[in-house]
Chains A and B, each alone.
Chain A
């Protein structure tokens, strides 16, 4: 009623009060109260009404905006709760892992169980649920319940032009939630420099697994940051209503990806950091999807793995190696499942293993800890630094690499590597076959298929892997052999080196003096030497094994053979089948140990030349031997893919670990003890080296 009359009046008023309105306007302020003309009133009412209408519509708009905002925030909150639950769950898992590690460490160190409050797995009773829950809830919720709401919301947001800000809001929220203030440079740095994903940090935790917790400090930062990236990617992937704007973002990153780069290579490299980031985000998104699958697989996979088992390993199942099996399989499973799986699965394994081993009488059991991957072909030899947790590997890919086990290098390309090599020694023009490290840790010597022995100054174990080239890392090269150098050994007290080559000679060197070649030994009747070592308790003697399957002890001063180590006639039925792969001398006793193709390890008395013990040690050729620095244990490696630890007193096998895979018919090529720290290592034809602690 009001409306119609006023609208009528409006027309009339406008027509009729044309003149009056002009005067009205002039004296509007002061004369308004006096001039109550009908057209004036009508006009006023109409004016007011229009004003209210306008305001109302504005409120309407505001309200819609706010409602959209509320809906968005609610959705976001829900998402964040899920994120938080997920993170809490992970933190619990990590805490639990840390506790397990500490307990283990404590037990190893003090031999007693460590009491540290609740050692129960944090969420074990409902772990299955809690592992799956948070992640699952992304999908159903994201896909069904909220879908309509989001569609609507997206329309709202796009109308308002809100989209750009939301991205910022969203990411800052996620960051705020995690207590991080990080902006793009940080992200970039974390990719290029700092460790990116959880596995890396976990390694660090377990390294500093003592009772102190300072190691925790750096860890949460990087870990949660990585997780933040993960989860952010998850949010990105799941909240598909943002896809439009995401495309904008991705475009920025894609810009720097291949397409453009191929135009101009110069430019490509300049924008490389961006590119990597782009790649990484993509990878992360993918990873998160995978992770969802993995999480559900984690529970099942280990069992199936254990049951099926890679065919190579099945046949090597021998008593006394429960630890070896479970651990190895787990690692394999973990390799397939990625770092997250490794995290959970390994802990499970360790907890069960702890219980088992506490009942075992063994003093110490070794577990695979580091896998050194960076060689392209079989690792022929390895050796430890005398004091530091550093080792050097020599490979058929023509290089040697230096690794620092305590320095997990800022992972450039991938963070799930345990250790990255610090330095690559390049000078051999063929496979590197043998390696020896001096007792001072200053030099190492490598012998190659090219017949050269290179003497290297070992670079500092804290160098930047991408430093400038220092030509003086190569100290000197020993020329003299005309064929492949298969064996090297160092005598620290005299700074001497002994080498054997397929040219049929054994040579004694003094690498750092003027006259390098001191003496040459041969044994015409025995042919080509295969391995060589100094006799430790008589430093003027070396012992070499030959193609004839006999060993000869030479006097280094006279150069003459002193004694032959020959097996008795009834034992020497088929000499070619007994070929010796490796010869080592006991550090304190007058004992020489040989590894044979016929699966035997044989022990010899250096004074009498008689064989004192012989045993079948492996299922295939024994390829490598190492005696621990105290002379109590012997480590052997074999082409049957396993390494075995032997008690030298009673010659019993203490532990067996399946360590490497086969390439052609070769598997394990070398083993080593650390001279002063509890590390052992194995080198394999599968291009890997493994370190056990």
Chain B
């Protein structure tokens, strides 16, 4: 099924592929990827192999451009956050979560509007992800996925800060959803490691106690 004629491996998801076989092809070494999307391919390949092996996933290939590496990772995070947003849609209603909050300390205003609004949490989530999708696909700031301007790399930090609030809201208000999602994807943990490693967010803002849990080796007990 995966193997076409001879020894050449065609990495394709043909119509009719079963869900369990989707993207299940032999790994391709990063050096042999000649596509413009090589970094995305490589990251997705690592995640598919083992989403919990965060160190390996975040280890940048030798002499690779760090801006592109960070950018592609952030794309992947925003994409996977869709999964959390879908789960939240079922439970996080505008009537119950009228504001985007994590701890009692702050109410986050939605920056997607001309004047920042107190959007309900679910709308904040959707708007933030939509806005991130627009920014990260923006022809102006990110016209290429092969090389990225320094000024555009600087924008990644603010995207990180905003999407992180989705994690924190889920953690403090929809703990069950968060835990299920986290067990499956390790996304928040990976994200926390990512922003810490590349210094994209200040430690004070990382309010989901995921790294401490890590050392205590408990996923669901805070």
A336 near B19: Cβ-Cβ < 8 Å: no
B86 on the A face (CB < 8 A): yes
Residues of A within 8 A of B59 (CB): none
A483 near B18: Cβ-Cβ < 8 Å: yes
A193 to B113, CA, bound (A): 9
Stretch of B50-58, B60-68, B101-109, B189-197 on the interface side: B101-109
Asked if A577 meets B15 with Cβ closer than 8 Å, knowing A269-B108, A417-B134, the reply is: no
Asked if A484 meets B22 with Cβ closer than 8 Å, knowing A376-B76, A376-B79, A468-B120, the reply is: yes
Residues of B within 8 A of A327 (CB): none
Contact among B108, B122, B135 with A469 in the assembled complex (CB-CB below 8 Å): B122
Contact among B83, B87, B109, B158 with A270 in the assembled complex (CB-CB below 8 Å): B109
Within 8 A of A (CB), among B169-202: 202
- 0/1 string, A119-134, CB within 8 A of B gives 1: 0000000000000000
B89 on the A face (CB < 8 A): yes
A686 near B112: Cβ-Cβ < 8 Å: no
Asked if A666 meets B141 with Cβ closer than 8 Å, knowing A273-B116, A412-B134, the reply is: no
A579 on the B face (CB < 8 A): yes
Stretch of A9-17, A57-65, A300-308, A424-432 on the interface side: A424-432
Count residues on chain B whose CB falls below 8 Å from chain A CBs: 72
B79 near A431: Cβ-Cβ < 8 Å: no
A647 on the B face (CB < 8 A): no
A450 to B19, CA, bound (A): 7
A335 near B144: Cβ-Cβ < 8 Å: yes
A486 on the B face (CB < 8 A): yes
A602 on the B face (CB < 8 A): no
Residues of B within 8 A of A192 (CB): 114
Asked if A483 meets B19 with Cβ closer than 8 Å, knowing A376-B78, A397-B79, the reply is: yes
- Size band of the A side of the interface? 35 or more
Contact among A269, A376, A415, A582 with B140 in the assembled complex (CB-CB below 8 Å): A415
From residue B40, how far is it (CB to closest CB) to chain A in Å? Answer: 7
Asked if A336 meets B144 with Cβ closer than 8 Å, knowing A376-B76, A429-B83, the reply is: yes
B36 on the A face (CB < 8 A): yes
A397 near B82: Cβ-Cβ < 8 Å: yes
From residue A298, how far is it (CB to closest CB) to chain B in Å? Answer: 15
A270 near B116: Cβ-Cβ < 8 Å: yes
Contact among A311, A397, A413, A663 with B141 in the assembled complex (CB-CB below 8 Å): A413
Residues of B within 8 A of A375 (CB): 133, 137
B89 near A262: Cβ-Cβ < 8 Å: no
A547 on the B face (CB < 8 A): yes
B127 on the A face (CB < 8 A): yes
Interface SS majority for chain B: loop
The interface centre, meaning the residue of B86, B108, B157 with most chain A CB atoms within 10 A of its CB, is B86
A466 on the B face (CB < 8 A): yes
From residue B134, how far is it (CB to closest CB) to chain A in Å? Answer: 5
A282 on the B face (CB < 8 A): yes
A449 near B137: Cβ-Cβ < 8 Å: no
A412 to B113, CA, bound (A): 9
B212 on the A face (CB < 8 A): no
Interface SS majority for chain A: loop
Residues of A within 8 A of B14 (CB): 530, 579, 581, 597
Cβ-closest chain B residue relative to A377 = B79
Cβ-closest chain A residue relative to B115 = A273
- 0/1 string, A526-541, CB within 8 A of B gives 1: 0011110000000000
From residue B2, how far is it (CB to closest CB) to chain A in Å? Answer: 11
Contact among B19, B37, B106, B122 with A484 in the assembled complex (CB-CB below 8 Å): B19
Contact among A269, A547, A665 with B11 in the assembled complex (CB-CB below 8 Å): A665
A193 near B82: Cβ-Cβ < 8 Å: no
B209 on the A face (CB < 8 A): no
B205 on the A face (CB < 8 A): yes
From residue A690, how far is it (CB to closest CB) to chain B in Å? Answer: 13
A266 to B108, CA, bound (A): 6
B217 on the A face (CB < 8 A): no
Contact among A272, A397, A530, A531 with B111 in the assembled complex (CB-CB below 8 Å): A272
Residues of B within 8 A of A685 (CB): 37
A484 near B18: Cβ-Cβ < 8 Å: yes
Cβ-closest chain B residue relative to A188 = B114
- 0/1 string, A268-283, CB within 8 A of B gives 1: 0110110000010011
A614 on the B face (CB < 8 A): no
Asked if A272 meets B109 with Cβ closer than 8 Å, knowing A265-B205, A413-B135, A427-B86, the reply is: yes
A117 on the B face (CB < 8 A): no
B24 on the A face (CB < 8 A): no
Within 8 A of B (CB), among A507-565: 528-531, 547
B22 near A431: Cβ-Cβ < 8 Å: yes
Contact among B12, B78, B107, B205 with A665 in the assembled complex (CB-CB below 8 Å): B12
A427 to B87, CA, bound (A): 8
A269 near B109: Cβ-Cβ < 8 Å: yes
B139 on the A face (CB < 8 A): yes
From residue A415, how far is it (CB to closest CB) to chain B in Å? Answer: 7
Contact among B37, B116, B127, B129 with A269 in the assembled complex (CB-CB below 8 Å): B116
Contact among B34, B122, B131, B139 with A417 in the assembled complex (CB-CB below 8 Å): B139
A502 on the B face (CB < 8 A): yes
B138 on the A face (CB < 8 A): yes
Within 8 A of B (CB), among A437-486: 449-451, 465-466, 468-469, 471, 483-484, 486
Residues of A within 8 A of B127 (CB): 466
Asked if A262 meets B15 with Cβ closer than 8 Å, knowing A273-B114, A283-B151, the reply is: no
Residues of B within 8 A of A608 (CB): none
A487 near B134: Cβ-Cβ < 8 Å: no
A430 near B19: Cβ-Cβ < 8 Å: yes
A373 on the B face (CB < 8 A): yes
A468 near B16: Cβ-Cβ < 8 Å: no
B17 on the A face (CB < 8 A): yes
From residue B128, how far is it (CB to closest CB) to chain A in Å? Answer: 10
B130 near A338: Cβ-Cβ < 8 Å: no
A687 to B119, CA, bound (A): 29
A586 on the B face (CB < 8 A): no
Cβ-closest chain B residue relative to A501 = B16
A670 to B114, CA, bound (A): 36
A398 on the B face (CB < 8 A): yes
Q: List 18 A-B contacts (CB under 8 A).
A: A193-B114, A266-B107, A272-B111, A283-B140, A283-B141, A336-B144, A413-B140, A414-B141, A416-B143, A421-B130, A421-B134, A429-B86, A433-B15, A468-B119, A574-B5, A579-B14, A664-B25, A666-B12
Known A269-B108, A311-B34; 20 more pairs at CB < 8 Å: A269-B110, A273-B114, A373-B137, A375-B137, A398-B86, A399-B82, A416-B143, A466-B112, A469-B122, A483-B18, A486-B15, A502-B17, A502-B19, A528-B18, A529-B16, A580-B15, A663-B35, A664-B12, A665-B11, A685-B37
- B: residues with CB less than 8 A from A are 4-5, 10-19, 22, 25, 28, 34-37, 40-41, 75-76, 78-79, 82-83, 85-87, 89, 94, 106-116, 119-120, 122-123, 126-127, 129-131, 133-141, 143-144, 149, 151, 155, 157-158, 161, 202, 204-205
Nearest first, the 9 A-B pairs at minimum CB distance are A414-B138, A269-B109, A376-B79, A414-B140, A664-B11, A530-B15, A530-B16, A416-B139, A373-B137
